[in-house]
Chain A
Amino acid sequence: MKTIMAVLGSVVLLAAFAHIALAQDQVTITTYYPSPFGVYSDLRANRMAVGNSRAFGNAGTVTWGGSTSYGTLSEDQGSSIELGGSNAGYTPYIDFHNDSGDYDARIMLVSNNVLGIYVRDRVEIRNTNTPSNYADIGVGDVYLCT
């Protein structure tokens, strides 16, 4: 009888230790929304928005900025770009840099009626196929604003 009790006691102890061992295998996975950080080598998204309040665009587009932004890498006409936003005071621009300073050239929507091209010296209009040649410009009036 003693032997049986000893065996049963061992079995109970073994089961208890096993239970403890099994409890140590408990896995807790905590998720975060939004995910604080992510790094991918390749990332594909049908629609991508950069900015917590920026609306999604159509399939194949990237939108960016705030809630009033119109900024879109658009799928229209193959691929196009929309800049600016719904605020009438916006003056959206494209800046060109060749150093770490401020822009070296800028194309900016100055007002409803004016697109400004800002350069330090000149704009040259050249032939795409023969870049050493110049190309034409068609305009209404020309104002020499010296």
Chain B
Amino acid sequence: MTKRKWFFTIVVVFLVAWNVLVQAQQDQVTITTYFPSPNGVFSYMRTSRGAASLSASFTGGDGNLVWGSSGTMGRLSSDQGSSIELGKTSAAAPYIRLRKGAVNSIIQLADDNTLYIYVWNNLSLYDFAQTTWEDLHVQRIYYHWGWMNGTIEKANLQYL
């Protein structure tokens, strides 16, 4: 084989090998995944059901969202159109806090038997237009302030 042929042969082999290597490098694909995905930002997002927690199990079917830590019963429920469940499976005093700047009112389950409503001054039962007082139906009223400290019975309701 002449030197020219050898040179020609080496050049051809080199070009082919180089071309193969370049193409192989260009086709290299690296896909890195993260679990959980650290961040997601959407303009619109729809899900059949959701959980705002890494530990809470999905509860309910389509249209339900659970949130909170392990043992939570917090759920945006699709029952009755849309309802809310609050609390957890043990030792909980779940609440709804209504804030108006520094002013806030709280509705809180104190224990098995008692629901507290915290207000700064008074709780008013209004009609929808907030023009007239609405009625209160209860079993008994306990009056815990002022000159009369005890149960208000039917006989002394006029002192209200």
Contact = CB atoms under 8 A, between A and B. Distances in A.
Interface of A: 3-4, 7-8, 10-11, 14-15, 18, 21-22, 25, 27, 34, 38-54, 56, 62, 64-66, 68-73, 78, 81-87, 90-100, 103-105, 107, 117, 119-129, 131, 133-146
B109 A98 contact: yes
A116 B3 CA distance: 103
Interface of B: 1, 5, 9, 12-13, 16-17, 19-20, 23-24, 27-29, 35-50, 54, 62-65, 73, 76-78, 80-94, 96, 99, 103-125, 132-142, 144-145, 153-154, 157, 160
B84 A121 contact: no
A94 to B, nearest CB: 5
A51 to B, nearest CB: 3
B23 A11 contact: no
Contacts of B36: 39-41
B123 A70 contact: no
28 contacts: A11-B16, A21-B20, A21-B24, A22-B27, A40-B39, A41-B38, A43-B39, A43-B45, A44-B42, A47-B45, A50-B49, A64-B76, A65-B76, A66-B81, A72-B82, A83-B82, A83-B83, A93-B84, A95-B83, A96-B108, A100-B73, A120-B112, A126-B116, A131-B116, A135-B122, A138-B124, A143-B138, A145-B139
Mostly helix, strand, loop or mixed at chain A's interface? Answer: mixed
A88 to B, nearest CB: 10
Contacts of A125: 116-119, 123
A111 to B, nearest CB: 13
